[in-house]
Amino acid sequence: MSRLPGKRARPVLRGPRRSNAPGLPDETWLGIITRQAIRRGTFTSLRHLIFKIKDYIAYWNADAKPFEWTATPHEIITKVAILQRDFRKLLANNSR
């Protein structure tokens, strides 16, 4: 990428992730910490921001609970089958 003197380089966005897992755990966690800790504050330095993130992680971990599935495997498979059926219908309607 060529730049003019004195101009900042602009980031290049390359499109969506190629993964088929839309709610990856790291993205979920970063979204939570961004909404609940970072956006709510004003930071005078990078050190202050890092302290706030570490403080929030300690707070989060103090009340940690393991993830528990609430759906049975049969319920999940049934929902996936419904989504596949509806997706096939959508594709069939769009190809006409």
Span 14-54, pLDDT tens digits? 555 555 455 567 777 788 888 888 887 788 888 998 898 89
Position 81 pLDDT exceeds 90: yes
More confident residue, 32 or 75: 75
The gap between the terminal CA atoms of the chain, to the nearest Å, is 43
Name residues whose C-beta falls within 8 Å of residue 5's C-beta, 6 or more positions apart in sequence.
none
**What is this structure's pTM?**
0.42
Comparing 3-7, 42-46, 50-54, 88-92, the range with the smallest average pLDDT is: 3-7
pLDDT for 33 equals 83
Which residue in this structure is represented by tokens 């930071």? Answer: 43
